[in-house]
Structure 1
């Protein structure tokens, strides 16, 4: 398992005067000289620098206290996760996998070599604890492709100690600014090296490291494409997190796929559905693969919660053990299965297709129309479909037909929510209000659907327990409670829906 460290740091421009006196920084008791480390790092990327375009850095470094392979993944401005693997001659499989969604079928190759003489200082507090590491780095950069340009510079780097308060970095920066030191204009050493060693316009053609920044949306098509692009980006950015089994990453990627599918369907007058429908089917496949374990996790959480609410007098037989066995039945091979999906040709082809869609969107005539007219009409149409389904569900007798109608209404409410989200930059408050009300409706109907699925699971568990000679009493108790929960949702729905309709009418939905 790769080692992951959260890195919170800031970089500053530096001249030859070295490091200003930092003993005056609030909380600093002493500045300790830790000597000079000689670092030698080779950075890897594709020929068209896809990792750099995504602010990802992959390097093999020797020297210092953390020699090895490092993959840095952006988390927030000034915050990155550094994933480490031991030294080896080739890129470790784990790190290659984490950038697979960016690299795809391209080849990783050495692009830049950075050699740094790092003059290190430790800022420590009154108790001797490390607050931050400050270094003055004399950097020599050599491009390993495109003719081998070189560059050199000196910079100051301030890295917060593990578990430190980021506010401390503000205090250090205040002192540095007072001494005339300014933040670096480059986000990383690699970014600066790539920029300063790139062949000049008179030499080889300048290679693009990123797509041009999108212009502010004007037309209906601009707004829809902005939303599509954001969901495509979310899938790519979440890919490493899903591979690492990071909390909630699978759910968030699944939501991004749903948002894309819903957008294709809602805005079929903007994007040609003969093109987007096949992509939507592939997104549906991906969502299904992502949901195999997610659905079971949701049911497990629900069952665990309702079981914990029961008094011991109502628990008969090894119910908790049976639930644990059921919950873990598929977990053993699920990680390798999901990684296989993300490494599959089908998934990588889907990513290529999404890139192509964003680069050359299949725009229809309405894409050039005014957002207020085109997008507003699409949102109102979706809301009308939700309205019809909710009314149908309210009128249906309790039972399987109502359960199905409520489930269909929930799916359409999600679609309407996503359509309203895409419309918000164009339509403002009314779309934002509709998205909020659809989220509330989805949550209410989701509670009902969870109850339906929990009851299905309880019947299955009860049958297995009965076949094993165990008491099925507790499963029946839980089933009855879930029926009551569903009935409560059904009873609350008419009033909740009336409020949503009133709010929608006021907003012009």
Structure 2
């Protein structure tokens, strides 16, 4: 089985300088020589280096204490999550699944072999606790695919120990710089090996500055495509909030297609939007259940013990657990499906050869502003209609429709920010406030629906339904409060938009 480790490290150039003495740097009380370790790693990628382009590294390494398969995801500069799996002859299935959205139907092949002679030192504090591991790596790299030969270099690597204070790395960095040691210009050994043997740096040459309306719309679509790919492995790993973020990316892209139909041909984008809706539906099963479970659990926790009648907490926990397992199984099956991979291929094809219409060549300040105003007008109409309805199911539906259009207007404004600046940014912020309020209302609607279901099951089992009814009444009150707040919020938004 694969496991995960957060890797926090700094890399430095070290042609002939070696490692300066770090004793006494910050909390480092002693430097312990751990000897020389021989490491042999083969890095895998597709022939066109899709993993490298996404700053992902996949390797099979022997030697050292952590021999096996390692897949690294960038988190922040100098920070990566490393997924580890036991040594085997082929890429483990759990590792292959995490790169499937990038690799798809291509083959993973050896691209670079790195052999490192690692001179290791442990940096410990006065109590002997490990703070960091510093090493001087003498690296020999051989390119295994395409043209290019071998290269050699020496570098210093300082990796933070588990549970250690990251400030230790800052103190060490300051000391090394004073000693004339320069930070590495390459983000990883693989990147340096590819550069030195004729390959491109990951991400090099991406994206020119948008000029036309079409450029701006495509830049936003490209950003959402990348977010879908980025969150795919996080969703598979059940990383908190990953399902929500991936779902939002699908919604942003769908909204962009619909809002900017004068820029991108709807005849091409509508079928893609339908597939994105299918994907969002699968993501929504898990996300909606998670939100509901958190909401109902918090509501139950807020009740005095005297008002909790029967095994309400046990029944709620069981409902949440069963729903989560079922939703996750369905979602992973979607991510493993040929239909999902075909959708990703279609998005790539759209960005490679976009179906631009006449307005795409127009000035973004004119074309994008017109589309955003049109979306805002739709939101205005739907909010007005919802406020004119009496409280009840019909109003609930109308409020939900206003929320969906409000999100679309928000995403359109976000796409237009680089072209329109402050006005679009202000509108996006206003739409976020609106949809947050309307989202609270919709969550209340869904919570009441779930409480009715749980109450019916509890009643059939001979349990008291008192607490479910009490929670239901509180949800009704929360919904009424949001409805009361809506007119004032919308008036403020309308006045701001008019300015």
Give 1:87-486 correspondences, 5 Å limit: 87-146=87-146, 149-198=149-198, 212-486=205-479
Q: Distance in 2 between matches of 1:157 and 1:86?
A: 24
Deviation of the 1:209 alpha carbon: 6.4
Q: Deviations over 1:177-198 (max 9, x none)?
A: 2222211121111111112223
Q: Deviations over 1:314-359 (max 9, x none)?
A: 3322222222222223333443332221111111111111111122
Q: Distance in 2 between matches of 1:167 and 1:415?
A: 42
SS state of the match for residue 394, structure 1? Answer: helix
Q: Distance in 2 between matches of 1:340 and 1:361?
A: 30
Q: Deviations over 1:335-389 (max 9, x none)?
A: 3332221111111111111111122211111111111111111111101000000
Residues 137 and 155 of structure 1 are in contact (CA less than 8 Å); yes or no, is this contact kept in structure 2? yes
The residue aligned with 1:22 is 22
Number of aligned residues: 499
Alignment CA distance shift 1:441-1:220 (3 Å): same
Deviation of the 1:68 alpha carbon: 0.9
TM-score (norm 1): 0.95
Deviation of the 1:474 alpha carbon: 2.1
The residue aligned with 1:68 is 68
Q: Distance in 2 between matches of 1:474 and 1:124?
A: 56
Long gaps (5+) in structure 1: 199-205
Residues 119 and 135 of structure 2 are in contact (CA less than 8 Å); yes or no, is this contact kept in structure 1? yes
Residues 12 and 184 of structure 2 are in contact (CA less than 8 Å); yes or no, is this contact kept in structure 1? yes
Q: Distance in 1 between matches of 2:409 and 2:498?
A: 15
Residues 282 and 330 of structure 2 are in contact (CA less than 8 Å); yes or no, is this contact kept in structure 1? no
Residues 3 and 85 of structure 1 are in contact (CA less than 8 Å); yes or no, is this contact kept in structure 2? yes
Q: Distance in 1 between matches of 2:15 and 2:469?
A: 75
Q: Distance in 1 between matches of 2:118 and 2:322?
A: 51
Alignment CA distance shift 1:333-1:13 (3 Å): same
Residues 194 and 201 of structure 2 are in contact (CA less than 8 Å); yes or no, is this contact kept in structure 1? no
Residues 48 and 207 of structure 1 are in contact (CA less than 8 Å); yes or no, is this contact kept in structure 2? no
TM-score (norm 2): 0.97
Deviation of the 1:208 alpha carbon: 9.3
SS state of the match for residue 339, structure 1? Answer: helix
Deviation of the 1:500 alpha carbon: 1.1
Q: Deviations over 1:398-427 (max 9, x none)?
A: 112211111100001111111111111111
CA RMSD of aligned residues (A): 1.6
Q: Deviations over 1:442-487 (max 9, x none)?
A: 1111111111111111221222222222222222222222111111
Q: Distance in 2 between matches of 1:406 and 1:179?
A: 64
SS state of the match for residue 330, structure 1? Answer: helix
Q: Distance in 2 between matches of 1:312 and 1:335?
A: 33
Q: Distance in 2 between matches of 1:241 and 1:332?
A: 17
Deviates more, 1:21-30 or 1:177-186: 21-30
Residues 48 and 209 of structure 1 are in contact (CA less than 8 Å); yes or no, is this contact kept in structure 2? no
Residues 243 and 286 of structure 2 are in contact (CA less than 8 Å); yes or no, is this contact kept in structure 1? no
Q: Deviations over 1:77-124 (max 9, x none)?
A: 111011111111111111111111111001111111111100111222
- In the alignment, structure 1 residue 83 sits paired with structure 2 residue 83: yes
Give 1:6-45 correspondences, 5 Å limit: 6-45=6-45
Misfit runs of 4+, over 6 Å? 206-209
Residues 272 and 363 of structure 1 are in contact (CA less than 8 Å); yes or no, is this contact kept in structure 2? yes
